[in-house]
Chain A
Amino acid sequence: MADYILRLRRYSPETGDAPYWEDFQVDLDGHRSVLDGILQAKDRTDASIGIRCSCRAAICGSCGVRINGKPRLACHMHLDKAVEDAPDGVISVEPMGNMPVIKDLIVDMDAVHWKKIQRVTPWLLPDGPDPEQEHIVAPESMIDVTQTMACIQCGACVSDCLSMEVDPLFIGPAALAKAYRFVGDPRDGQRYERLKDLSEDPHGIYDCTHCFNCIEACPKGVAPMSQIMRLRRIAGSDHEIDDRNNGHRHEKAFVKNIERNGLLHEADLLPDSYGGKFHPRAIPVLTSSLPVVLAALMRGKVTPKKALLHQHKASDDVKRIYKHVHDKEKRYELNLYVAGEEEDAGDEAGEAVQASAAGSQLPEERSPNT
């Protein structure tokens, strides 16, 4: 047994008092969880501590909190590991972000998380009449969506989503990962409509800022951001959905820019993302960014010559790679969550630290305790 100090963020909106931090000393073995610590404090010191929990085995997704500032399941973080990350040896526990606090460590999942899940029509919409018995689906086509199905709805990714922090209307990582679960399902008959909807929504798939916070937050390896990128890939490349947010146009412009120049030619990227320099859509954008361009010119960051002339040309080899990959009938997309990694991967990989799932198709857990 050892002593640990938990510093809990307390807040009770009805009282009208501001949130405050309160320390609790607990006496438990190091391999016991932070949740065990909170429950001991609740049991021995202050029964009014608010924490939501159920299974205590990292499967129900109820006890999402921030431990030392990082999103965790309280039941999935050992006390001795948590204390290693605590700057002054005090383990801080606070409620998740991006959601209103109901009391202490309990946030309002209904107001944000579940509302967003409902937004993506989280059920199957098959075409035509139901089959007499079950839908027959090839197993390999379902493996593709197993990663999103590993979600336990804990809200950790929502808590740390940096787009949602500035745009609360963003549909967000958990709900968009859920959307992929149906877009990737061969039985669904509304895949195009789903993608069109999520592309056109100004707070949809193109509102993700690609910050990797959700990938880092997820305790189950769902990698919501990767699912959002797959939604973009299918919406853009397969369905050619030209959305009002310039998401697909920007991607097309970028990819073509590199095919042409080998290196990015920034001066072309902005106008091309809006359909080209002379497109009516581009004019207000280019006008509004004029002060920025002028400042860059004045400081000598950009010279007129550099802005207008293309100094780089893609080599024939780059063009050949583009053609070779684009000529394929089917995209080759390796998903390590599904494929696993070879046993000896990482031996010579220097700093690249790899988890090993060695060909297994079991979900790869991302343990905070290693």
Chain B
Amino acid sequence: MKVAYWPGCVSRGFTPELHGSMALVAPLLDIELVELDRASCCGAGVIAEHNQELADTLNARTFALAQQVEGADMMMNICSTCQGAQSECQERLDANTEYRDHVNETLAAEGLTYDRGIANKHFLWLMVEEIGLEAIAAMVTQPLTGLRVGPFYGCYIVRPTDRLGIDRAHPRDSYLHQLIETLGGTVADYAGQYKCCGFPIITMNQEASLKQAGRHLGDALDADADCLVTPCPLCHLNLDLQQPLAEKVVGRPLGMPVLHLPQMVGLALGLEPKQLGLNKHVVKPTSVIDWSTSVVAGVPHAA
């Protein structure tokens, strides 16, 4: 399938391994990515905090650019924060014609219009809903057998449930669980899987922020997780990049590797750890990968 692809900022900034691994995984899943290189930051909730109309207009512009991509089935993103922030703007734009017209007036100077009802799905949702877990299971060449993966959903992709289209018919808040099992791994459930990583307050209350990250990582450790997987690069910053500082705040060694979603998928589809940028993480995923032979959790490479 062909998608208008919004990679977000952080995947092209401090987590380049996310952008890189998505580019490698997409062709294996038969996804054609048409990158929205003219679009701007979603605002991550901060621009909306400053001025709602500004955030709504910038995201309406992104949606309009996505709607111009010829032959695209939908828009896809790889960042929970983008998903949440953009869904919030879309909710307002879609609910009120007068408001949408008002925002479109601003876009008119550029010859753009946002038509109500864009489908904008995170890579996680797209895999489960568009490709299907059965199809993905058939593509697995290197199952994550024996690997205990703790899902870290974070906030923006699971709340509020009505805005994000989560209900009994669409249990999007269980997709990471389902995917880990589809790839042959074992889910390690732990207390923090739906909690906040603390990143949004890292500059305002560093101690509280790192206490959040540290506590979840510790809970995962206590649940015998080998690693975490997250659909959000901002969570990755607090859980991986800041993990050495989080260790100090919670007063215990953690050493918990954190994978980006496409990295976990890539491993199971037979890509090499280094190709997927796993060596770029601050906490080296040694529990996931035997670097000498590229073996996943002790299971030999499928021939």
Contacts and interface: CB of A to CB of B under 8 A. Distances in A.
A255 B204 contact: no
Contact of A352 (B87, B125, B159): B87
Interface in B237-259: 241-242, 244-245
Nearest to B129: A351
A292 interface: yes
Contacts of A342: 95-97
A211 B203 contact: no
A163 B107 CA distance: 38
Interface stretch (B21-29, B134-142, B277-285, B286-294): B277-285
Contacts of B201: 163, 206-210
Contacts of B71: none
A350 B116 CA distance: 10
Interface in A189-221: 202, 206-213, 215-216
Contacts of A324: 57, 106
Nearest to A348: B117
A321 B241 contact: no
Contact of B10 (A211, A264, A331): A264
Contacts of A328: 53
Contacts of B51: 233, 237, 255, 325-326, 331
B205 A207 contact: yes
A354 B13 CA distance: 34
A102 B17 CA distance: 49
Contacts of B106: 321, 324-325
B212 interface: yes
B94 A349 contact: yes
B119 to A, nearest CB: 4
B200 interface: yes
A170 B91 CA distance: 29
Contacts of B16: 301
Contacts, number: 234
B302 interface: no
B12 A237 contact: no
Contacts of A25: none
Interface in A246-282: 246-247, 250-252, 254-255, 258, 262-266, 270, 273-274
A320 B241 CA distance: 35
Contacts of B159: 211-213, 215-216
A229 B94 CA distance: 21
Interface stretch (A36-44, A55-63, A119-127, A333-341): A333-341
A348 B52 CA distance: 24
Interface residues of A, number: 82
Contacts of B119: 350-351
B63 to A, nearest CB: 12
Interface in B32-51: 38, 40-41, 43-51
A133 B41 CA distance: 51
A292 B242 contact: yes
A167 B170 CA distance: 34
Contact of B209 (A209, A300, A322, A353): A209
A255 B47 contact: yes
Contacts of A339: 95-96
Given A166-B208, A207-B204, A325-B106, A349 B53 contact: no
Given A292-B241, A342-B95, A352-B90, A322 B281 contact: no
Q: Looking at B40, B87, B196, which has the most chain A CB atoms within 10 Å of its CB?
A: B40
Contacts of A84: 168
A283 interface: no
Contacts of A186: none
Contact of A266 (B10, B116, B198, B242): B10
Contacts of A352: 87, 90-91, 94, 117, 163, 165
A325 B47 contact: no
A264 B41 contact: yes
A352 B91 CA distance: 7
Contacts of A325: 51, 53-54, 57, 106
Contact of A212 (B12, B121, B156, B205): B156
A274 B204 CA distance: 10
B58 interface: yes
Contacts of B15: 301
A334 B46 contact: no
A351 B94 CA distance: 12
Nearest to A364: B162
Interface stretch (A107-115, A143-151, A311-319): A311-319
Q: Which of A208, A273, A315, A318 has the most chain B CB atoms inside 10 A of its CB?
A: A318
Contact of A301 (B14, B208, B242): B14
Interface-central residue, A263, A265, A324, by most chain B CB under 10 Å: A263
Interface string B109-124: 1100000111101000
Contacts of B46: 250-251, 254-255
Interface of A: 84, 162-163, 165-167, 170, 202, 206-213, 215-216, 229, 232-233, 236-237, 245-247, 250-252, 254-255, 258, 262-266, 270, 273-274, 285, 289, 291-292, 295-296, 299-302, 306, 314-315, 317-318, 320-322, 324-326, 328, 331-334, 336, 339, 341-342, 345-355, 366
17 contacts: A162-B196, A202-B205, A209-B196, A209-B209, A210-B200, A210-B201, A211-B155, A229-B49, A254-B47, A262-B40, A292-B282, A299-B282, A300-B280, A326-B54, A334-B92, A336-B92, A354-B162
Pick the 10 closest A-B CB pairs, nearest first. A212-B159, A348-B117, A351-B165, A264-B9, A211-B196, A341-B95, A350-B119, A166-B211, A263-B9, A167-B208
